[in-house]
Amino acid sequence: MRAAAFIFILISAQLGLAFDFTVEQAATIPLGASEKLTIDISNPLNVSDTFNIAVSGQKPWMTLSPTMVIANASSSATVNLYLTTTPETPIGLYILKINIESVNTGEKIIKESYVSVIKGEITKIEDVIIRGDFEPKGNVTVEINIKNYALTTVNNLMLNATVRSTKIMSDFSEVIEKIDPNQTIGITRQFALPEYSELGRYRIELSLFYENRVSRAEEDFTVIEKAVIEEGSEDIFMIFGSGKKITVKNYGNTAGTTEITKTVSPLESFFFSGSPDLIEGDTYKWILSLEPGEEAIVEYRTDFLLLFIAFVAAAVAAWFFFFKIRTVSVRKHIIQKKKIEEGEEFTVGVEVKNSTGSSLSNVVVKDLVPPVFSAKDTVGPKPAKKVAKIGTELTWRIDELAAGEVRILTYKIIPMFGVGGQAKLPRAIARFKVKEKMIQSNSNVALLGTKSKE
């Protein structure tokens, strides 16, 4: 008989007649409340069966009764899991695995059920974390975690936050479209503490509004006592130097001291202007003590204008020395001071002086006699003459002109008609080479005749 029953059980199992059970898939229970999960076990076999029940994930505030039950042939049996929470029960979502085993067949079936313990507000602000620089003008970061303990999606949530001490300092809002069951949403916001924020305790107050409900939370932080000194600088425009204007201000909540330094080279120190409090070698220092909200300005300049002027003066002096003094100078003059009359003779002198500091060779001196005069030789070196439309060109060639030597070249001119007043004669020139470079010096303008009397 037993063997026949066993064979029947096996055949029934293969035909899909094995046991099954049902249990609520999810349940929500507030703190301080009691609920129960009902487990219905069905036995389709034509023989009675015994079932052992176990719950994985069971907590102390959960009671399973009974843990073993007999289901008659083609009938069912009921088992209850009692849930009794207290105010101290941790809120959250609990996953239970219900394990039922048939004694007759050894078959096991495991199903899950979800129990949500809530605080009466389904979705809540889980925690608030504040970090950052808790000082005037400091950047503060707020991390807010919001969790949905319900088994349904919550839509259209509004989070409001206010940062305050004795008055509101900052606030912000955040719209949350939805939170799915058991989902946690993190919100991170940053804000800057105001200038001169006072020492003391500050608080961030949070309110989460949804479905005519509200979840509130708050968190404190402390602003420390600190001088927050900031500086800004701008360049001062200078043509022959550089300068800087530095503005320093204390944005903190207590007095503080700061130091500005500038490295000045020995050369710069001669042209530096400013008022440092301390000089240590090539380091100039300004020491500033500032109360909260106090501002100070430091200015300094390095002006190379005087150096530039000295350089230009030296360059001009060098140019004058090498190109005006250390050169071949040519001076032209008229020996006689008399009226310009037809046939009168005038002696023209061209003085050539070597001031280069060295001997010169092949110095060429030229002068031009206008066509209204005739030229006549005098005692001394005779020039070569060349007649052109513009007048008579006179040329002297000096083979050697020693350093410091002066040569005076003369010739006579005779006007072809009289002229009242004075007449300007062309400049004489001298050409010579210095270090393979051809250089030309021009004489002054010589005046012939005498001034007219009015």
pLDDT at 6: 47
Residue 136 shares a structural domain with residue 193: yes
Is the model's pLDDT at 276 over the cut of 80?
Answer: yes
Residue 50 shares a structural domain with residue 160: no
Kindly state the average pLDDT of the residues 29-48. 86
What is the C-alpha to C-alpha distance for residues 244 and 231, in angstroms, rounded to an integer? 12
Grade residue 240 by pLDDT with cuts at 50, 70 and 90: confident
Residue 210 shares a structural domain with residue 254: no
454 assigned to some structural domain: no
- The one-letter amino acid code at 377 reads D
Is the model's pLDDT at 92 over the cut of 50?
Answer: yes
Grade residue 88 by pLDDT with cuts at 50, 70 and 90: confident
Residue 160 shares a structural domain with residue 196: yes
pLDDT at 3: 46
% the chain with pLDDT above 90:
59
Kindly state the average pLDDT of the residues 220-231. 94
pLDDT at 297: 94
Residue 24 shares a structural domain with residue 54: yes
Burial code of 157-193, b = ≥16 C-beta within 10 A, e = fewer? bebebbbeeeeebbeeeeebeebebeeebebebebeb
Residue 104 shares a structural domain with residue 186: no
Q: What is the DSSP string of 37-90?
A: EEEEEEE-SSS-EEEEEEEET--TTEEEE-SEEEE-TTEEEEEEEEEE--TTSP
Grade residue 8 by pLDDT with cuts at 50, 70 and 90: very low
Q: pLDDT tens digit string along 403-424?
A: 889 999 999 999 999 888 888 9
% the chain with pLDDT above 70:
93
Of 97, 21, 13, 92, nearest to 55 by C-alpha is: 97
Q: pLDDT tens digit string along 335-375?
A: 999 898 899 999 999 999 998 888 999 999 999 999 999 99
Identify the domain boundary among 160, 188, 223: 223
What are the residues facing 280 on neighbouring strands?
A: 283
Residue 106 shares a structural domain with residue 175: no
Residue 82 shares a structural domain with residue 127: no
Instruction: Kindly give, in sequence order, each residue whose CB lies less than 8 Å from that of residue 24, ignoring residues fewer than 6 positions away.
Output: 37, 38, 113
| Domain count within the chain | 4
Domain containing 175 equals 123-223
424 assigned to some structural domain: yes
pLDDT at 355: 87
Is the model's pLDDT at 11 over the cut of 60?
Answer: no
Give the lowest-confidence range in 202-206, 273-277, 321-325, 428-432: 321-325
Prediction pTM value: 0.50
Higher pLDDT, 195 or 35: 195
Identify the domain boundary among 188, 223, 258: 223
CB atoms within 10 A of CB 345: 13
Grade residue 26 by pLDDT with cuts at 50, 70 and 90: confident
What is the C-alpha to C-alpha distance for residues 96 and 114, in angstroms, rounded to an integer? 6
